[in-house]
């Protein structure tokens, strides 16, 4: 990846958090504040190393601990402050939060079946719909781009947030969102020529 920024281009770098703590494996977690697993800290450091030569004019993070812990690694040794942005939190699973997928299926069989068939259309009880998350994430992305015209900035958040912003750049329908893989600590790059996005890199594994 050539990290030199062409003149007049606004570059958005999207980083997914590292692997979360092991007790969350196989569970729904969006709103839950989950820390990184030991492997997640290693992944975060690798992502930071990958971006070590990139000049950042802004560094932002979701408020969730797993994203903040990852972003702090990226921030180390840089002259740019880390700012928390509520818009980029992961989707709120409501009453699904903390449940295993098997528990969610037993407690909410009809809704679970709908979620598996049409994940972009479900409203989680006492939580969010994907369209609600999509609108806050896209609005947040526009705000950051307006804050950094002609500059490079990074956002550390979640798989769902990254997919939402990448899908917007690619003009993908919501139902195709999960065609975009996002490994833990993945790095993605979108360049904006005015309002026209060009995806330069996606799902880079540090």
Instruction: Extract the annotated binding site for substrate.
Output: 66
> How far is CA 88 from its chain centroid?
7
Binding residues: 66
> What residues are paired with 94 via a beta bridge?
none
State the Cα–Cα distance between residues 72 and 81, nearest whole angstrom: 10
Closest by CA position to 93, among listed 52, 117, 124: 124
Query: Cα torsion for 177, 205, 15, 51, to the nearest 10°?
Result: -150
The residues carrying an active-site annotation are: 17, 90
State the Cα–Cα distance between residues 120 and 158, nearest whole angstrom: 16
């Amino acid at each position: 990846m050539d990290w030199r920024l062409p003149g007049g281009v606004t570059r958005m770098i999207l980083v997914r958090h590292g692997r979360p703590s092991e007790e969350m494996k196989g569970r729904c977690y969006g709103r839950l504040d989950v820390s990184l697993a030991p492997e997640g800290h290693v992944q975060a450091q690798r992502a930071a190393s990958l971006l070590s030569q990139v000049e950042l004019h802004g560094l932002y993070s979701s408020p969730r601990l797993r994203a903040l812990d990852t972003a702090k690694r990226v921030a180390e040794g840089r002259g740019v402050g880390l700012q928390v942005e509520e818009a980029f939190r992961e989707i709120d699973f409501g009453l699904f939060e903390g449940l295993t997928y098997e528990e969610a299926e037993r407690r909410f069989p009809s809704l679970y079946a709908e979620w598996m068939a049409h994940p972009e259309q479900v409203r989680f009880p006492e939580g969010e719909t994907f369209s609600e998350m999509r609108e806050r994430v896209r609005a947040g992305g526009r705000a950051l781009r307006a804050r950094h015209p002609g500059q490079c900035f990074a956002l550390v958040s979640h798989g769902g947030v990254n997919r939402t912003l990448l899908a917007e750049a690619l003009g993908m329908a919501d139902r195709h969102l999960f065609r975009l893989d996002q490994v833990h600590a993945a790095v993605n790059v979108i360049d904006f020529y005015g309002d026209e996005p060009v995806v330069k890199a996606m799902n880079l594994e540090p």
